[in-house]
Amino acid sequence: MSTESLRVTIDKKTAALKAAMAAGKWWHSIDLGDGFVTPGVHTPEELAYNYSTFRLPENLSGKRMLDIGCWDGFYSFESERRGAEVMAVDCWTPENILKAKAARQSNLVFEEKSVYEITQDSVGTFDIVFFLGVLYHLRHPLLALEHVCEVTREFAIIESHVCDDFVNTDFAHLPVMEFYEFDELGGQHDNWWGPNIECLTKMIRAAGFAHTEFLRRDPTRVAIKAYRNWQDIPNEATPSLRLTRIINAVKYDEVFPRRGRHAMLAIGVKGLPHEAARLDVRVEIGGFGVVPAYAGPWGGTDDYSEFQLNAIIPPGVPAGKATVRVWHGDKISDTRAIELIDTPLIPAERVV
């Protein structure tokens, strides 16, 4: 399909959805019991298919889950049905989710909160976080991803509109975002950004997630699983890979704020091969994985005998002792501990 006809299709689809919503329809088809399923704009089959692409276990008992931008709450209720303890938030209070909660006698907790208000202090932490269909509605998507990351312990499922089929294919390998000043996307004023998949993947890592897995690609949308750590960590330290020093990468001292502009470490390592690239070197700080923003000779020289790895303190690591280690292939370094200090959150009063 051509770029222009894709845009027209999105416009028509959005107009039909708006008309359906105006007529009092539900966004999600939700089983309220006794054979009554709400007449959602999204059919039960479509929603079940979407959920299946997240590849979650059928039994989610023991998992704490957060659904950001939940709307009517299908994804929350389905997670609760599978045994999870669920919190659902949205930047307004959809009456439908409260009706469905009552009808299903659900224990789900709903709170009206914007993603920018989601912090460990305000909601705690969650094994799994859903961030479905929200990113492109935000003026500050990277900031929002940092908030998502801060409260995620295992992984987040991030689903979004993407612009890959709109932009010139010469750019497909480059991280680019389309910006919608007015209602250019689907005639909606609250659509701001259309990242391409490359851009979204890189933003997810830049926000602090360790790595991503591709889950689903629809014509203009993508679903990505964003992990807080790696699964294949070697068990034992290898003496040939050794941490040499850890300093603050911004201030060159040994004061380590846990968040903010100075929350970046420079980690010295001996034993990495000359060709080690930043996406192959894995850093773990305070139990969370993070990709080094820089991996090369210490101090930018051409002496590769000591590598310097610059990495942000991943969002959500608490103040106090935090362990640091590094691995590459099947080699893992010794572990060092640093003391992270607390810093106040910068008030984001202008963020909407």
Ligand X SMILES: C[S@@+](CC[C@H](N)C(=O)[O-])C[C@H]1O[C@@H](n2cnc3c(N)ncnc32)[C@H](O)[C@@H]1O
Q: For residue 351, what are its two tokens?
A: 């963020």
Task: Say whether residue 133 binds ligand X (CB under 6 A).
Answer: yes
Residue (115 or 309) nearer to ligand X, CB: 115
Residue (75 or 327) nearer to ligand X, CB: 75
Judged by CB under 6 A, the chain residues 23 through 62 that form the site for ligand X are none
Stretch that binds ligand X, among 32-40, 126-134, 245-253, 294-302 (CB under 6 A): 126-134
Please name the helix (run of DSSP H) or strand (run of DSSP E) that holds residue 279, with its range, or none.
none
Judged by CB under 6 A, the chain residues 310 through 349 that form the site for ligand X are none
Judged by CB under 6 A, the chain residues 96 through 125 that form the site for ligand X are 114-115
What's the closest the beta carbon of residue 260 comes to ligand X, in angstroms?
22
Cα separation values, 221 from 105, 239, 248, 348, Å: 33, 45, 39, 29
**Under 8 Å CB-to-CB from 189, ≥6 apart: which residues?**
182, 183
Residue (215 or 250) nearer to ligand X, CB: 215
Q: Which of 45, 58, 92, 168 binds ligand X (CB under 6 A)?
A: 92
Q: For residue 262, what are its two tokens?
A: 């100075």
Nearest to 199 by CA among 185, 212, 189, 186: 212
Binding mask 138-157 for ligand X (x = CB under 6 A): x-------------------
Nearest to 235 by CA among 310, 348, 332, 108: 332
Stretch that binds ligand X, among 67-75, 278-286, 288-296, 326-334 (CB under 6 A): 67-75
Instruction: For the chain, count helices (H), then strands (E).
Output: 7, 23
Burial of 121 (0-12, 13-18, 19+ CB in 10 A): exposed
Nearest to 340 by CA among 306, 315, 305: 315
Judged by CB under 6 A, the chain residues 68 through 87 that form the site for ligand X are 68-71
Task: Say whether residue 295 binds ligand X (CB under 6 A).
Answer: no
Burial of 226 (0-12, 13-18, 19+ CB in 10 A): buried
Q: For residue 210, what are its two tokens?
A: 């360790």
What's the closest the beta carbon of residue 113 comes to ligand X, in angstroms?
7
Residue (26 or 288) nearer to ligand X, CB: 26
Nearest to 163 by CA among 138, 139, 134, 194: 194
Q: Which of 66, 97, 134, 290 binds ligand X (CB under 6 A)?
A: 134
What's the closest the beta carbon of residue 137 comes to ligand X, in angstroms?
4
What's the closest the beta carbon of residue 284 comes to ligand X, in angstroms?
30
Residue (20 or 91) nearer to ligand X, CB: 91
What's the closest the beta carbon of residue 241 comes to ligand X, in angstroms?
42
Number of residues that bind ligand X (CB under 6 A): 14
Q: Where are the alpha helices (DSSP H) in 180-328?
A: 197-207
Stretch that binds ligand X, among 90-98, 274-282, 301-309, 310-318 (CB under 6 A): 90-98
Distance CA 290, CA 302 (A): 25
Residue (112 or 303) nearer to ligand X, CB: 112
Task: Say whether residue 91 binds ligand X (CB under 6 A).
Answer: yes
Binding residues for ligand X, rule: CB under 6 A, are 68-71, 90-92, 114-115, 132-134, 137-138
